[in-house]
Amino acid sequence: MSLVDLSGRVALVTGGSRGVGAATAVLLARAGANVALTYRERSDAAAGVAERIAAAGQRSKTIRCDVGRREDCDQAVSETLTEFGRLDIFVANAGIWPPGDIAVSDISDEQWRRTVQVNLDAVFYGTRAVLGVMQRGARIVVVSSTAGQRGEAYHADYAATKGALIAFVKSVAVEAIERGIHVNCVAPGWVDTQMCDVPFERDGGKGREAIERTIPLGRVAMPDEIAGPIVFLCSDLAGAVVGEVLNVNGGSVLCG
């Protein structure tokens, strides 16, 4: 038996077709969980993650879902229950980061509303839906960001939503623990994913080097390095962890 044993449990991971979501879905499977994962457009990528879950010996289900829509979130939970008969773990990972540097005075209503819809409304919809079906011992992990802790100039929409998620987690954690459901948060910094391609490639490909000079660890994290802490929070090893924000950023929040 492995130290982290999720045998018999069922997880739902939003944004599971790539990046941190994909890494988390696979690692949950390697720990013994069956996994449902949502995607919006990348059906082929989601199918590839499902193959990796099968290679780990677990069952999976891919669900097309716009997490910013209440109906889609409710349907994703319903499909997970139909497929597996239970839901023990919810990882609210899906999110967007508009890559352009835009001052708050220039952020359009459309961009603001879409960022709020995908990054904040979606977590509310998903959390509300899963709390209606989860039993004692279940786990919810929300993926926030370093930006939600210290802000991010020219990305105020993103930072605002990620900061709101931290407050949301701390609030829901107190309510949910009364039912034996643990709610926690992971706050990554820069991660080697497609979401970060634009800033990494700035200045002729030197953007990544400039970013890494601001990180005490000296490099950006890999998706698996975010997935590991998420799976820890989903396990019995985190039995006394409630409403916490687990920073996974190479020490970035320690610097100005």
The catalytic residues are 158
- 140 three-class SS: strand
Supply 39's token pair.
Answer: 């995607």
Residue 107 near residue 156 (C-beta atoms within 8 A): yes
Classify residue 255 by burial, with Cβ atoms within 10 Å: 0-12, 13-18, 19+.
exposed
In sequence order, what are the beta bridge partners of 64? Answer: 39
C-alpha dihedral, 4 to 8 to 14 to 19, nearest 10°:
40
DSSP secondary structure letters along 85-127:
S---EEEE-------S---GGG--HHHHHHHHIIIIIHHHHHH
